[in-house]
Amino acid sequence: FDDMMAELSGRVQGFWQLVVVDPSFGIFSRAWCVAELVQASISGIPQNVMLLSRRGIDLYSDDMTLYRKLATLTVTGCKASRKEDKEAILSGIVDVQSFDARLQDLIFGDSGLMRQTFVGFGLSDAAVRTARRLSSLSQASFSLGSFRA
């Protein structure tokens, strides 16, 4: 599909990719889908996203499951209908770490697919981690202090 995408973007004026995101964001768990998203980006094909549901992406929710799922996404963890399909996709990726970095940028970057959807989530996540660390430190200090004579 790499060649086909490059061919279409070169021959069809105004060609772009519409990324329809299902309510469970399952598109990001499929190897073929993430490979196609990254290839479109590499080929310079403009991409637009359409969310079928905004459930799970509420910045003010305590549930960070979806954000964490996308933030830790790696092509090696993606699924395919057939084992051979996943093997073919992975064998076409020269550097998995670079691919995953490109995928993360494609999702969360300044011009990423979800740039407006997850605005502030990184800050929220950092604030939560900082609060947990401070809480752990204050509990540790208290515990150490209770052992002093």
Give the predicted TM-score (pTM) of the model: 0.72
- State yes or no: pLDDT of 102 exceeds 60: yes
- Both 96 and 132 in one domain: the answer is no
Total number of domains in the chain? 2
- State yes or no: pLDDT of 137 exceeds 70: no
The pLDDT assigned to 74 comes to 93
The pLDDT assigned to 149 comes to 37
Compute CA distances 73 → 35, 78, 103, 132, whole Å.
12, 8, 8, 23
Amino acid identity, residue 54?
A: R
- Both 70 and 139 in one domain: the answer is no
pLDDT in tens, 3-56: 888 888 888 889 999 999 888 889 999 999 999 999 999 888 999 888 877 665
Name the burial class of residue 70, with classes exposed (0-12), middle (13-18) and buried (19+) by CB atoms within 10 angstroms of its CB.
buried
- Both 107 and 129 in one domain: the answer is no
- Both 128 and 68 in one domain: the answer is no
Residue 130 or 37, more confident = 37
CB 144 within 8 A of CB 113: no
Interatomic CA distance for residues 21 and 56, integer angstroms = 12
Q: Give the residue numbers spanning the domain of 142.
A: 120-149
What residues pair up with 79 in beta bridges, in sequence order?
30
Backbone φ and ψ of 146, nearest 5°? -75, -15
The pLDDT assigned to 37 comes to 94
Mean pLDDT of 55-77: 76
- Both 82 and 95 in one domain: the answer is yes
For helices 31-42 and 83-91, give the axis angle rounded to 10 degrees: 30
